[in-house]
Amino acid sequence: MTETPPSATEIVEQCAAGDTSPGAEVARSLAAIEARDPELNAFSVVLANEAREQARFLGIGQGDTRRPLYGVPVAIKEELDVAGCVTTFGGRGNSTPAAADCEVVRRLRDAGAIIVGKTAMSEFGAFPYTESVARGHTRNPWRTSFSPGGSSGGSAVAVASGMVPVAMGGDGGGSIRIPSACCGLFGLKPQRGRVTSSPHAHLWWALGVTGALTRTVLDAAIVNDVIRGHLPVDRWRAGEVGSFSEAAGREPGRLRIGWSTKPPTKGIRPHADHMSAVRDTARLLSDLGHEVHEIDPHYPDTTAAFLPQFFAGIRSEAREVEHYERLERRTRESYRLGSWVTPKVIDAALRSTTRVSAKANRVFDTVDVLLTPTMAQRPPRLGILDRTGTVRASLRSLPAVSYAALWNVAGNPACSVPSGTGTDGLPVGVQLVGPTDGEEVLFSLAAQLEQARPWPLVAPSPL
């Protein structure tokens, strides 16, 4: 039987009560990493000495216990700068350690979080599976011959296996929601511009945003409250909203919820397990008192908006690495294939993004929340990216990103909520999408689902 480690919320409460300490929680996390990570390959770097020193510093002075993440071990995806660590973006292109924390990591530390390491990702997060030449395959803790999804797969595995209660990810086409669905976690992509991208002006132009992967909705709400807020450098800025933590603690009220299993991408067929999960969740939401009905979202075509930003994102990150020649063959191929993406093409793509957002958001004229599958396919076996070039890898990725990527283009907040297991014994997630600046309603509704249909807090130990 797998021991259930404490949530971030419980760690903060227990530290305040004197029942545990930052040092004890770091020791617990490092022991779990030592025991589980050799098999799972979630961490690219473990900062054991640094974490112990930060825990010792936090233990000086009782006033620190009022911080919202006091004593909580947190893992950081490789695309975010952590002082003293090379920001690898999942590859071998960089060799110089970052001189300073990025703003998100700084905010986490200020809130009392302890950084225990960095997590694996596909190079530049280009594809939704955590496989790379630099790190090999990251394994799903539910069944280790299967993928945890990606690109924030290392973060998902670190949380789902109980190594940490919180890990940071990034989502430019589903990269928080997809691994959350594959690993049985709650993962929210915030509204575009909700979280600073500093020191960068943007993350793949209008597509990317930073967020958390957690085992509980309240933990995610607390972390998102900590990291939210823009800086002058940010190109995108979200609207004003209230406390996410408070939203997770209150009833959502009676909502109009539209559900659909229709794929936004032509030619994609959702797996029967995902269709069943959406219908089961729709019935549960109806039983909870919501007005629930099937709808046709009339999805717009995102191709002209998404593809240029995808290639431009790879090209801009590839240009900034210290050793271009060390990048994966597929990444260098993607760089060449994206040569047509000029500044004028990017400007046109951003104009298309505005049109797509307007069309996609028409669904919220008649519903408060949209319910869909998080992804169309089941978690694939390891090696799905092996020996693939850009085109084949992209085609293999379509069933994973189909339902998710639209909302990166539109900018809306969207989350994956655990909804049981499939016929293969692996987790299934459903996606809740909110209107612009609608994170509060998503946190309230997801917390209600969590209470009505609790999910496992860690992956059960494989037989």
Nearest of 133, 83, 80, 315 to residue 324 by alpha carbon: 315
Within a 10 A sphere around the Cβ of 384, how many other Cβ atoms?
21
- Grouping H, G, I as helix, E, B as strand and the rest as coil, residue 368 is coil
* Residue 154 identity (one-letter amino acid): G
Q: pLDDT, tens digit, for every residue of 249-285?
A: 999 999 999 999 999 999 999 999 999 999 999 999 9
Mean pLDDT of 33-55: 97
Within a 10 A sphere around the Cβ of 3, how many other Cβ atoms?
9
Whole-Å CA distances, 383 to 62, 153, 327, 388: 48, 14, 19, 10
- Grouping H, G, I as helix, E, B as strand and the rest as coil, residue 87 is coil
Q: Is the pLDDT of residue 83 over 90?
A: yes
Mean pLDDT of 142-161: 97
Q: pLDDT, tens digit, for every residue of 196-234?
A: 999 999 999 999 999 999 999 999 999 999 999 999 999
Structural contact between residues 258 and 295, judged by C-beta atoms closer than 8 angstroms: yes
Listed in sequence order, the DSSP H helices in 41-163 are: 48-58, 103-110, 153-160
Q: Is the pLDDT of residue 28 over 90?
A: yes
Domain presence at residue 459:
no
- 421 CB burial (10 A radius; 0-12, 13-18, 19+): middle
Rounded to 5, what percent of the chain is helix, strand, coil? 40, 15, 45
Q: Is the pLDDT of residue 367 over 90?
A: yes
> Which pLDDT value is given to residue 397?
96
Q: Is the pLDDT of residue 410 over 70?
A: yes
- Dist CA 125 CA 362 (whole Å): 30
Listed in sequence order, the DSSP H helices in 327-385 are: 329-337, 343-360
> Which pLDDT value is given to residue 300?
97
Task: Give catalytic status of residue 151 as yes or no.
Answer: yes
Model confidence at 440, in pLDDT bands (50, 70, 90)? very high
Nearest of 309, 305, 330, 328 to residue 410 by alpha carbon: 305
Range of the domain at 212: 8-452
DSSP 380: P
- Dist CA 205 CA 394 (whole Å): 19
Nearest of 156, 120, 124 to residue 140 by alpha carbon: 156
> Which pLDDT value is given to residue 373?
98
Model confidence at 4, in pLDDT bands (50, 70, 90)? confident
Residue with tokens 């020191």: 199
Nearest of 115, 146, 137 to residue 45 by alpha carbon: 115
Domain presence at residue 391:
yes
Q: Is the pLDDT of residue 239 over 60?
A: yes
- Dist CA 263 CA 201 (whole Å): 32
Nearest of 218, 318, 190 to residue 12 by alpha carbon: 218
The catalytically annotated residue of 122, 151, 152, 402 is: 151
Domain presence at residue 461:
no
The catalytically annotated residue of 7, 21, 29, 77 is: 77
Task: Give catalytic status of residue 175 as yes or no.
Answer: yes
Q: What is the DSSP string of 163-181?
A: S-SEEEEEESSSTTHHHHH
In this structure, the strands spanning 291-294 and 256-259 are: parallel
- Dist CA 114 CA 23 (whole Å): 10
> Which pLDDT value is given to residue 463?
45
> Which pLDDT value is given to residue 457?
84
Q: What angle do CA 298, 299, 301 make, to 5 degrees?
A: 130
Partnered with residue 333 across adjacent β-strands are none
Q: And the tokens for 179?
A: 């691994």
CA atoms within 13 A on the CB side of 187: 37
- Burial string for 27-57 (b: 16+ CB within 10 Å, else e) reads bbbbebbeebbeebbbbbbbbbebbbebbee
The catalytically annotated residue of 7, 175, 260, 402 is: 175
Structural contact between residues 147 and 396, judged by C-beta atoms closer than 8 angstroms: no
Domain harbouring 145, CATH code: 3.90.1300.10
> Which pLDDT value is given to residue 1?
41
Domain presence at residue 55:
yes
Domain presence at residue 82:
yes
Domain presence at residue 3:
no
- Dist CA 399 CA 73 (whole Å): 33
- Grouping H, G, I as helix, E, B as strand and the rest as coil, residue 119 is strand
Higher pLDDT, 456 or 192: 192
Structural contact between residues 230 and 237, judged by C-beta atoms closer than 8 angstroms: yes
> Which pLDDT value is given to residue 461?
66
- Dist CA 249 CA 245 (whole Å): 7
Domain presence at residue 1:
no
Q: What angle do CA 337, 342, 348 make, to 5 degrees?
A: 110
- Dist CA 163 CA 32 (whole Å): 5
Mean pLDDT of 421-450: 98
Structural contact between residues 335 and 314, judged by C-beta atoms closer than 8 angstroms: yes
Task: Give catalytic status of residue 147 as yes or no.
Answer: no
Q: Is the pLDDT of residue 61 over 80?
A: no
> Which pLDDT value is given to residue 65?
72
> Which pLDDT value is given to residue 377?
96
End-to-end CA distance of the chain: 10
Mean pLDDT of 421-437: 97
Domain count, the chain: 1
Q: What is the pTM of this model?
A: 0.96
